[in-house]
Structures are given as C-alpha cells and as structure tokens.
Structure 1
C-alpha cells in the first residue's frame, strides 16, 4: 500500500527540479498526478516517466499567473481524475532572479511579476483546490517557500518577500480551513542543486554557500520531495500551519559559524571573489 493510493495530486512547476521530484515521489506511492508546468515539453516528459513506471499522470501546460489557466487546470484534474486531494504549489518565477536586485536597484516590474507568479499564483491554485478538497472530505497542501523568505539578503528582494508572504498565506489557510480537514504547510529549501540552479551557480558561489551549511553536502530535489510527501501524507495528520526548513542546517547556527567552521578553529573570512559571487545568488 502506498501513502497516496486512491488520491489525486496537482503539482505545479513539475517539469523539472523539485517539482518533478515531488510528482515522481507521489506517483511512486500510488497517487495519480496532474503534472503542471509552463514548459509543456517538460511536463510531458515527466508524465511519460511516471507512466513508464506504471503510474498515472496527466500533463498540463499552463502559467499559474493566469487565473483562467489555473481554473482550467483544476477543471481538468476533476474531469480526468475526479478531484484533488493534495496540492504542491511549486511553480515560481525563477527566470527573474538574476534581475531581482537590492531595493534601490530593483525594477518594479520585476517585483510585480514575481509577486504575480509566486504569491498570487499560489493563492489562485489554493482557491481552486479548496472546494474540491472539501467535497472529497479534506486534503493537504504544501507551498514551496524558501530559506530566502526567512532571512535577509543583499539581493532577491522580490523573491524573498514573496516567499515570506507565502509562509503567512500557508498559516492563514491552515487556520481558516483546518475544521474542514484541510492541512497546509510550507517547505523552505536551502541550497538544493536542481539542474537549473547548477547551471546558474558557479563553483565559487557554491563553495561560499556550502560554508554556511552544517552538513557537508548540498541538497537534492529528492530530499525536498521526501519532506513534501511526508507532510502531504496521513503520517503528518496532526501537522499544519508550519514552515519546515530542509536546508542542511543553513539557518540553524550563529553567523560566525562560517568564519570558524565546525572544528572550533579560526578560519579567515571568505575572500572578495566569494563575497561578490554571493551577492549575485
């Protein structure tokens, strides 16, 4: 018996990276998965992999910033599979992060587009999913937040603000619909090396970021998917309204950890090149 036998999941941003890992993990445990992504070919490829492993999936090409597209997504899920039991809001405007600068350098259009996709899109998906979940006796939602939404940085102003707001959206949803047997939690990944992030971060930046983790290895999409599937499953039936980090301990220590390391010996501060690279993460 799989944890998602008889259940239907919608996963947005499921064509690659963390979203794909979540879709595959749910399908491998018996769930039928609606694989939604703005990249239609990626959604189809993920669906094909699920079906090759004897799972059931439906690929949908859509943009969560489009309210009508979101409504159509959940109509298709209901028509094809009968309704939605679990939702993973993973889609995010990652293509904007390189333009997401410090406040005085920030193009307001980047702020607006980031908020429209990351926050409004998540809200729209929740609004469509909740009635179907209520009709099916309850459900579970995981919103993909970020460690960036829990601490300040020298850039990524829009992204961080959207993820911080997502944390409160998750708490609000959990509060408002808990009596309807709907749970909602947020997951905050740290340095998780997806294909896209690997292509964007040079070795210098990766080295700098790893120095701030307590664990010596970077995260994998499957590490996040393991947490997401637990929170969506009945094993987490008494967990709601939480923000759970999966970050290798990046936010768990005092700021001086990276200078001294975990051996207790002093270590010089990172050099100018690493500092410059970090500012562009």
Structure 2
C-alpha cells in the first residue's frame, strides 16, 4: 500500500521504540522519512533498516530542546526531500526516579520535562508549519500520554507537561486549520517499549496489564499504525483531537478486574 505516497515525514525519537516503528511503517506506506534522534547510531540504524527494505530515509541528530537544532532538523528534511508534509513530535518523558509526588519531586527535573515534552512540541511545530503551508497542508502528530488524563502517585511533572501537549495540539489545529494544517495528539497507554521493559519491575508490568480492558499491553507498532492513519489523507477531517490508544486502561473501572471473578461460569 502507498497511503503516504509523495509525503515527507519527520519523526523525532525514531531511533527506537514507537518512533522507530512509526518511521518504518510510514516508509512502508510510501513516505520519505527523516529519522531524528539524539542518539546518532540509533537514528542511523533505523535509516539503514528502512533503506534495506527499499525506502528512503535520512538520519538526523537532534536535540529537541534546542531551537537551533530543531530548525536544522526541519531544514535538513526540506533540503533533502524538497518539502514537508508530516511531523511526529514524539520525543518526551521524565526520569521516574526524580519525578515523584508534589513534595518530593525534583524541580530541576520538572524544568527538564517542560523542555523535553512541551518546548520540543512547540519548536517542532513552529518550524514545520511554514513548510506545510507551502506544501498545501500537512499533519502534525504530537505524543501525549494517558498521564495527561488521570492523577498518579508519581510523575507529577510528566502528567502536567503531557496535558500541556494536548492544549498546544488544539491551539495549533485552530490557528492553522484554514491553511489545511491538521494537528492531533495520541495518548498511549502502557506500551512494551525498551524504556518500559528496562525501567519497570515485572510485577508493575503485570499490574498495568491487569488494568487494561484488553488482555495484553500495546506494542510500538500499535501506536505507529495510529500515527500512519493521522499522517494519511484518511484522517483529513480529523484535527484538534486526542486519540487515546491505551487498551482500555482509562475506560475500565479500577474495580473491574476483581469483579470479573464474580461473573458466573
């Protein structure tokens, strides 16, 4: 299939996990892909995989918190491929060892979370939008989180900045909709990325699985397929929205797993 034929896509955090899955899936659908990541070898590895499969990819090293670096990423995309149609602002996160509850959270980590999640989203869109307008329109896809929708005992900073990403998404959609630039956000739930597998104990992973309405956790490809949909013209009438892709985590009552045992038969 070629749902993204003739489109140029920039994906941050494409060196691993969800970003890599999105880059490979978009390439398979015909997009020319800029693989952007702070870790140069990872970006190059993703690009090699894409090109080995017959696609076109440009690895770019980027610090999404630095305006000059983000501007250079976008200019590299336009210089290499002649335009820009899709931007996935995917980089984000916090350090769960420092992003604690209100009284114990590290304020330096809060500042880092703002830069890594919120500022990066603003910067990416700021430099992408003019090129999208020149191309006749485009799609910006921001990665939020279910942490933006619920409270938690930890990750106070993360929830706050991801909620800001949702607000930024709506503002961009309204401001540039008349120029045919769409902007949507995805709120992933628990996804089995390397970051999750390496940072959470197995009992915590099991508790996340039990909290889903579906009997499994997501894969990077589950989110990547959603990004492909938002990048494609299939979603041409969708803008300013938050798509919650969480296996039913935020839908299910906390009592539901225990109550299943009460069902007859």
* TM-score above 0.5, yes or no: yes
How far residue 196 of structure 1 moved from its aligned partner, in angstroms, is 2.0
Q: Name the count of aligned residue pairs.
A: 264
Aligned match of 1:202: 201
How far residue 189 of structure 1 moved from its aligned partner, in angstroms, is 0.5
State the TM-score, normalizing by the size of structure 2: 0.97
* Corresponding position: 1:170 with 2:169: yes
**Aligned mates of 1:162, 1:182 — CA distance in 2:** 23
Aligned match of 2:80: 80
State the TM-score, normalizing by the size of structure 1: 0.91
Structure 2, gaps ≥5 residues long: none
How far residue 208 of structure 1 moved from its aligned partner, in angstroms, is 1.1
* Corresponding position: 1:33 with 2:33: yes
Aligned match of 2:21: 21
Question: Where has structure 1 moved over 6 Å in runs of 4 or more?
Answer: none
Aligned match of 1:11: 11
**Aligned mates of 1:99, 1:81 — CA distance in 2:** 40
How far residue 78 of structure 1 moved from its aligned partner, in angstroms, is 1.0
Structure 1, gaps ≥5 residues long: 267-281
1:67-122 CA distance string (max 9 Å, x none):
1000111111111111210010101144x233110011011100001101100011
How far residue 202 of structure 1 moved from its aligned partner, in angstroms, is 1.5
**Aligned mates of 2:223, 2:93 — CA distance in 1:** 19
* 1:58-73 matches, cutoff 5 A: 58-73=58-73
How far residue 263 of structure 1 moved from its aligned partner, in angstroms, is 4.6
> What RMSD, in angstroms, separates the aligned Cα atoms of the two structures?
1.3
**Helix, strand or coil at the partner of 2:227:** helix
How far residue 265 of structure 1 moved from its aligned partner, in angstroms, is 4.7
